[in-house]
């Protein structure tokens, strides 16, 4: 859960910098963009880990397949979202990350489907 919180907070912090402080030093905006990109990669990696420890083994492949397909399908919207006015693209990313962060708590308890030690 600590890596989950770090990924979420770093993504939200970079979104806040880009939205509310667009006139700061260009290096700060560049750094915020880099942190935001790292946060997005972290979400994908975390998605694999969450699926691995919270999904029954017989369903793992299909869950990852559905997640990747949904992600690729959603990425088709990126050109349209990037053309929106003002800070709307970053605001939509922040809303998306918040919805995903809340949805994680609806999953089964971590480790429920991991093998247990006998002995």
For 15-70, write each residue's pLDDT tens digit: 888 888 888 888 998 898 899 888 888 888 887 887 777 888 888 888 888 888 88
Structural domain for 84, as ranges? 2-104
**Per the domain annotation, does 112 fall within a domain?**
no
**Per the domain annotation, does 115 fall within a domain?**
no
**Per the domain annotation, does 14 fall within a domain?**
yes
CA atoms within 13 A on the CB side of 20: 7
Q: How many domains does the chain have?
A: 1
**Per the domain annotation, does 20 fall within a domain?**
yes
pLDDT band at 8 (very low <50, low <70, confident <90, very high): confident
**CA nearest 93: which of 22, 24, 43, 59?**
43
* pLDDT recorded at residue 108: 75
Residue 90's Cβ-count burial label (10 Å; 0-12, 13-18, 19+) is buried
**Per the domain annotation, does 109 fall within a domain?**
no
């Amino acid at each position: 859960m600590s890596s989950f919180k770090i990924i979420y907070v770093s993504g939200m912090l970079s979104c806040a910098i880009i939205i509310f402080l667009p006139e700061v030093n260009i290096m700060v905006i560049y750094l915020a963009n880099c942190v935001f990109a790292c946060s997005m990669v972290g979400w994908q990696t975390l998605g694999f880990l969450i699926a691995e420890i919270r999904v029954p083994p017989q369903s793992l492949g299909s869950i990852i397949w559905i997640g990747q397909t949904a992600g690729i399908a959603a990425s088709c919207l990126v050109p349209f979202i990037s053309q929106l006015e003002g800070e709307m693209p970053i605001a939509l990313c922040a809303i998306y990350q918040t919805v995903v962060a809340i949805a994680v708590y609806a999953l089964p308890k971590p480790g429920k489907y991991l093998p247990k030690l006998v002995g």
